Structure 1
Amino acid sequence: AEEERPREKLLLLGVQKLTDAELLAILLGSGTRAHSALDLARQLLESSNRNLNTLGERSPKALMQIKGIGRAKAVTVVAALELGRRRQLQMPEQKVKIKKSKDAYRLLAPLLYGLPQEAFYILALNRQNQVLAKIPLSSGGLNATVVDPRLLFRKALDHGATAVIMAHNHPSGACRPSETDVSLTRKLKEAGELLDITILDHLIIAGDKFYSFADAGLL
């Protein structure tokens, strides 16, 4: 059957040889009388402008609007894409060294892109500015997220960090810092100095754009 071909291709050639549609078809498992799993997968991609990030933002209910996508298929796709997002939290064995704000953005953007609410993450770094961990701290509403300084520094100390890079997203798409962002950054910088933990940067991520407090001379 046509819907089995992506599985065979994966086994013969490896997962990297499959297209996005073929990978989705494997998740869907089967098609309908009128459409194969591969056809349904292509429809899913087309409905999201062939963008996996956009597809990952959609709820099971939204996916079920496509004819042939029932509850089980929709839940499977949403769960798989969420698993891919969570994979970004896992660091490779070789530690990544942060040399500039763009390096931190590349690590943190996949975790914050497309979220409907603000969320706050930190990178815990050693003295060589190598990343020890990516740590989620909080998530909030559309316009704000609450950060507990005690939790932030406890998490950093738990990983043996000597420096931290903070980041949060602006779902509005505007990456300029608010007065609250500036005040919070100043407060955390001062608290870090007491604990001998340096706040190297605070990134505000808005889609494919970001603002760096360090680049702006505010740290």
Structure 2
Amino acid sequence: MESPEDRLDRISIRNWAEEDRPREKLLLKGKAALSDAELMGILIGSGTRSMSAVDVCKLILQKAGNNLNELARLSVKDLQKFKGIGEAKAITIVAALELGRRRKESDPVKRIKITSSQDAYDAIKPELWDKQQEEFWVLLLNRANQVMHKAQASLGGVSGTVADPKIIFKLALDHLASAIILIHNHPSGNLKPSEADLRLTKKLKEAGSMLDIPVLDHLIFTDHSYYSFADEGTL
């Protein structure tokens, strides 16, 4: 006959296959691969002596008709009626559902689409306006040429900054960018690219071609205007 200790060991999430544990499953397969009960199980963290966290959440969902909208109607006190759900766990579930409700009401962030060098200049203005030292930035674009992220690659002094290709393309790879636009400022207001600028641009363009992350442009930014390597045929 199975002892209580054996039964507890059998149902513990720790003894599930790694790919079936909710946290590990999320990391291995992505959040969409988890059931509602598994996602809730991550929230509450632990179950009872006779049920795993996921089993507790399955029971809660069943009582709510397996409908998240009905689940969201339950109060903290309602949730505390379930064995294994104390006040802290109940509050966690209620807070998560409230965040989901607020997300539905929020407008999705509109991404800037880059169709010209002027668009790129306007996109980076908030980051480089009035800066007194040189900075090197990268616009990370998706396949639709929309800005997914703006990242600072280096920070220098009043007369120059060093841009490391490894850092630039690591940023692109980390964000799964489909293309990038390079931008650095000249606090002096000089729009003419230096020989170092030309060499760096060529080096980065070649690296982007090898990684299938094309460099679409490189801008020299000043507060009043810009120089586009693409527009000027020097890319």
Same fold (TM over 0.5): yes
Superposition RMSD in Å: 1.0
- After superposing on structure 2, the runs of 4+ consecutive aligned residues of structure 1 that deviate more than 2 Å are none
Answer yes or no: is 1:117 the counterpart of 2:128.
Answer: no
Q: Which letter maps to 1:134?
A: K
Alignment of 1:67-216 (within 5 A): 93-216=109-232
Instruction: Show CA shifts across 1:18-52 (max 9, x none).
Output: xxxxxxxxxxxxxxxxxxxxxxxxxxxxxxxxxxx
Q: 1-side partners of 2:185 and 2:221: how far apart?
A: 5
Unmatched 5+ stretches in structure 2: 1-107
Unmatched 5+ stretches in structure 1: 1-91
Q: Which letter maps to 1:210?
A: Y
Identity of aligned residues (%): 53
Alignment of 1:36-75 (within 5 A): none
Q: 2-side partners of 1:199 and 1:190: how far apart?
A: 9
Instruction: Tell me by how many angstroms 1:148 deviates.
Output: 0.9
Larger radius of gyration: 2
* Count of matched residue pairs: 128
CA contact (8 A) 2:112 2:123 kept: no
Q: 2-side partners of 1:125 and 1:109: how far apart?
A: 17
Q: 1-side partners of 2:207 and 2:132: how far apart?
A: 30
- Where 2:140 maps in the other structure, the secondary structure is strand
Instruction: Show CA shifts across 1:98-122 (max 9, x none).
Output: 0000000001122112111100100
Q: 2-side partners of 1:207 and 1:131: how far apart?
A: 21
TM-score between both structures, scaled by the size of structure 2: 0.53
